[in-house]
Amino acid sequence: MPAQETDGKNGNIAVLGGGCFWCLEAAYKRIAGVIAVDSGYAGGNVDEPTYEQVCTGKTGHAEVVKVTYDPAVISYEKLLELFWKVHDPTSLNRQGADVGTQYRSALFYVDEEQKKTAEQSMKKEQSKYREPIVTQLVPLAHFWPAEEYHRDYFDRNPFAGYCQAVIKPKLDKLDLGVRKI
């Protein structure tokens, strides 16, 4: 059963793909106004995919996070500012050593307002890069939650090699004036 796509009708979720979901989850959990961050899969053609299936690159799914946020505290636009900072949107189907379509940069919008905001944000961001932004902008059809062992990965394994080498440097970029205290 897909997670509640319909809760986005109130404009309070953002579904984002920017490489490994462990990285995005760790970053967004530390932002004021973010209520919950769920790792999962979106954008593919297999119902209820498993991590093992997604890793093959044959499902069409990307590793994503579903960010539930309070729009009275943080806007979708501000969430996108963080998105551009914590991954390389000009890198096609990879982030660092993580390679494959499952690591693609993607924004899954839930309504036309999110789509318009994402288009404007992407256009503004493009001026900061020499290479073209390759982030996909697609409607959210379904969000499938990841397996339990992927949830809160950084918080449970802060000293693991991947966490220190890849996730921690991304967290150091969280200078948006929106950190949780």
Distances (CA, A) of 98 to 6, 38, 95, 103, 112: 31, 20, 5, 7, 31
Domains of the chain with CATH codes:
5-171 (3.30.1060.10)
E-strand spans in the chain? 13-18, 34-42, 62-69, 94-95, 98-99, 105-109, 136-139, 144-145
Q: Tens digit of pLDDT per residue, the chain (181 long)?
A: 233 333 444 449 999 999 999 999 999 999 999 999 999 999 999 999 999 999 999 999 999 999 999 999 999 999 999 999 999 999 999 998 899 999 999 999 999 999 999 999 999 999 999 999 999 999 999 999 999 999 999 999 999 999 999 898 888 877 644 445 4
- What count of other Cβ atoms lies within 10 Å of the Cβ of residue 148? 8
pTM, full prediction = 0.89
The whole-number pLDDT of residue 97 equals 87
Q: Is 23 a catalytic residue?
A: no
Say which of 20, 23, 55, 163 is annotated catalytic. Answer: 20
Nearest to 65 by CA among 14, 101, 109, 114: 14
| Residue 73 to residue 151: CA distance in whole angstroms | 24
Distances (CA, A) of 48 to 21, 52, 57, 81, 94: 17, 12, 15, 30, 23
The whole-number pLDDT of residue 175 equals 62
Interaxial angle between packed helices 112-126 and 76-85, expressed in degrees from 0 to 180 and rounded to the nearest 10: 40
Token duo for residue 180: 């949780």
